Amino acid sequence: MTQYVAPGSAGSVVSYESRYGHFIGGEYLSPAKGQYFADPTPVTGQDFTEIARGTSEDIDRAVEAAAGAFGAWSKTSATERSTLLNSIADRVEANIEKLAVAESWENGKPVREALAADLPLAVDHWRYFAAAIRAQEGGISEIDSDTVAYHFHEPLGVVGQIIPWNFPILMATWKLAPALAAGNTVVLKPAEQTPASIHVLLSLIADLIPAGVVNVVNGFGAEAGKPLAAHPRVAKVAFTGETTTGRLIMQYASENIHPVTLELGGKSPNIFFDDVATHRDDFYDKALEGFTMFALNQGEVCTCPSRALIQAGIYEEFVPDVIKRTEALVQGHPLDTETQVGAQASNDQYEKILSYLDIGQQEGAKVLIGGERAEMAGELSGGYYIKPTIFEGDNKMRIFQEEIFGPVVSVTKFDDYDDAVKTANDTLYGLGAAVWSRNINTAYRAGRDIQAGRVWTNCYHVYPAHAAFGGYKQSGIGRENHKMMLDHYQQTKNMLVSYSDQPQGLF
Amino acid sequence: MQRVDVTTSAADMLHRLTGMHGPLMFHQSGGCCDGSSPMCYPAGDFHIGSSDVHLGDLTVPGVDEPVSVWMSAAQFEYWKHTHLTIDVVPGRGAGFSLEAPEGVRFLIRSRLLTDAEYAALAAS
B37 in reach of chain A (CB within 8 A): yes
Domain at A269-457, CATH from 3.30.70.270, 3.20.20.450, 3.40.309.10, 3.40.50.2000: 3.40.309.10
Distance CA A308, CA A305 (A): 7
Distance CA A271, CA A277 (A): 13
Distance CA A190, CA A185 (A): 16
Q: Which residues of A are catalytic?
A: 263, 302
B92 in reach of chain A (CB within 8 A): yes
Percentage of chain A beyond pLDDT 70 is 100
Do A269-457 and A20-264+475-493 have the same topology in CATH? no
Contacts with A31 (C-beta within 8 Å, 6 or more apart), sequence order = A21, A22, A52, A53, A54, A55, A58, A219
Q: Are A105 and A342 in contact (CB under 8 A)?
A: no
Does the domain at B4-123 match CATH 1.20.140? Answer given as no
In the predicted model, what is the mean pLDDT of residues A29-38?
98
pLDDT of residue A225: 97
Residues on chain A touching B117 (C-beta within 8 angstroms): none
Q: What is the pLDDT of residues A116-165, one digit of tens each?
A: 999 999 999 999 999 999 999 999 999 999 999 999 999 999 999 999 99
Q: What is the pLDDT of residues A264-314, one digit of tens each?
A: 999 999 999 999 999 999 999 999 999 999 999 999 999 999 999 999 999
pLDDT of residue B35: 74
Residue A195 in this model has a pLDDT that exceeds 90: yes
Residues on chain A touching B108 (C-beta within 8 angstroms): 355
Distances (CA, A) of A24 to A27, A110, A128, A174: 6, 31, 27, 21
Distance CA A394, CA A413 (A): 9
First to last CA, chain A: 83
CA B73 and chain centroid, separation: 15
> Cβ contact (<8 Å) for B27 and A363?
no
pLDDT of residue A30: 98
Residue A63 in this model has a pLDDT that exceeds 80: yes
Distance CA A215, CA A355 (A): 37
pLDDT of residue A108: 97
- List, edge to edge, every strand of the sheet that includes A490-498: A139-144, A147-155, A490-498
Q: What is the pLDDT of residues A419-439, one digit of tens each?
A: 999 999 999 999 999 999 999
CA A253 and chain centroid, separation: 21
pLDDT of residue B36: 83
Contacts with A288 (C-beta within 8 Å, 6 or more apart), sequence order = A321, A322, A325
Give the residues of chain B that fall short of pLDDT 70. Answer: none
pLDDT of residue B92: 81
Q: What is the pLDDT of residues A232-248, one digit of tens each?
A: 999 999 999 999 999 99
Distance from CA of B88 to the nearest CA of A (A): 9
Q: Are A74 and A136 in contact (CB under 8 A)?
A: no
The dihedral formed by the CA atoms of A406, A176, A228 and B92, expressed in degrees to the nearest 10: 30
Q: Are A301 and A338 in contact (CB under 8 A)?
A: no
Nearest CA in chain A to B41: A222
Q: What is the pLDDT of residues A493-503, one digit of tens each?
A: 999 999 999 99
**Nearest-CB residue to B31 (from A223, A242, A300):** A242
Residue A372: phi and psi, rounded to 5, are: -155, 170
> Cβ contact (<8 Å) for A192 and B94?
yes
Distance from CA of B61 to the nearest CA of A (A): 24
- Show me where the domains of chain A are located: 20-264+475-493, 269-457
Provide the H-helix boundaries in A328-428: 347-362, 398-401, 417-425
Q: Which of B25, B44, B31, B45 is nearest to B86 (CA)?
A: B25
> Cβ contact (<8 Å) for B46 and A251?
yes
| CB neighbours of residue A8 within 10 Å | 15
Which CATH architecture does the domain made up of A20-264+475-493 adopt? 3-Layer(aba) Sandwich (3.40)
pLDDT of residue B124: 80
Residues on chain B touching A358 (C-beta within 8 angstroms): 109-110
B7 in reach of chain A (CB within 8 A): no
Residue A43 in this model has a pLDDT that exceeds 80: yes
First to last CA, chain B: 10
Buried b (16+ CB within 10 A) or exposed e, B12-49: ebbeebbeeeeebbbbbbbbbbbbbbbbbbbbebbeee
pLDDT of residue B31: 82
Residue A447: phi and psi, rounded to 5, are: -60, -40
Distance CA A373, CA A348 (A): 14
Residue A454 in this model has a pLDDT that exceeds 90: yes
What does the DSSP assignment read for A269-299?
EEEE-GGGGSS-SHHHHHHHHHHHGGGGGGG
Q: What is the pLDDT of residues A472-486, one digit of tens each?
A: 999 999 999 999 999
